[in-house]
Chains A and B, each alone.
Chain A
């Protein structure tokens, strides 16, 4: 089964600026309620965690490879397992595009350090599989 991989890097400061400039408008348009809840701390919303989730969304788009399909960012959700791992959940246009392209088994890893947050997504893709040699 062919694989697809996507990666992205986000400057955490830009997420902090977006929160300052757009507040709830930014959070509502980009993240799901679950993601925002996962990024809240006793000190408020954590831009490092949000930046890692944005990187995950962009990395996922690089795996889905949309052409003219509009994909809202909150149709790609990062879910945190209590053990600390993260998984992806697609909905709406993102789920439709994945189904049409035969993209399955998405796996995600995210990290942040210093000024940057990053994400890597790997998935199986049945589209474009080579035909068996007879």
Chain B
């Protein structure tokens, strides 16, 4: 999952650094991701994983790192499986 997330970030976050150099807990906003770019990341994740982020997850902390995105996706998959 983390590799797919990195791919989406690489395509949509417009980061000035190579996403492969970032750790899972690196702050993507500090790395240069703008608020508008985070929208593109969200849309890219929704397309890639065929999910829709609910309103409660539309907050900065969900999209601030690869790890936080992975946690949110895992939560959504768990909910979908129930």
Q: Which residues of chain A are within 8 angstroms of B35 by Cβ–Cβ distance?
A: 8, 58
Q: Which one, A14, A66, A92, contacts B36 given CB within 8 A?
A: A14
**Is A10 a contact of B61 with CB atoms below 8 Å?**
no
What is the minimal beta-carbon distance from A10 to any residue of chain B, in angstroms?
6
**A77 to B54 CA separation, bound complex (whole angstroms):** 19
What is the minimal beta-carbon distance from B8 to any residue of chain A, in angstroms?
12
Main secondary structure of the interface of B (DSSP, over half): helix
What is the minimal beta-carbon distance from B27 to any residue of chain A, in angstroms?
17
Q: Which residues of chain A are within 8 angstroms of B6 by Cβ–Cβ distance?
A: none
Task: Give A contacts to B, CB under 8 Å.
Answer: 8, 10-11, 14-15, 17-18, 21-22, 25-26, 29-30, 54, 58, 66, 68-73, 75, 92-93
Task: Give B contacts to A, CB under 8 Å.
Answer: 12, 14, 34-37, 39-40, 42-44, 46-47, 54-62
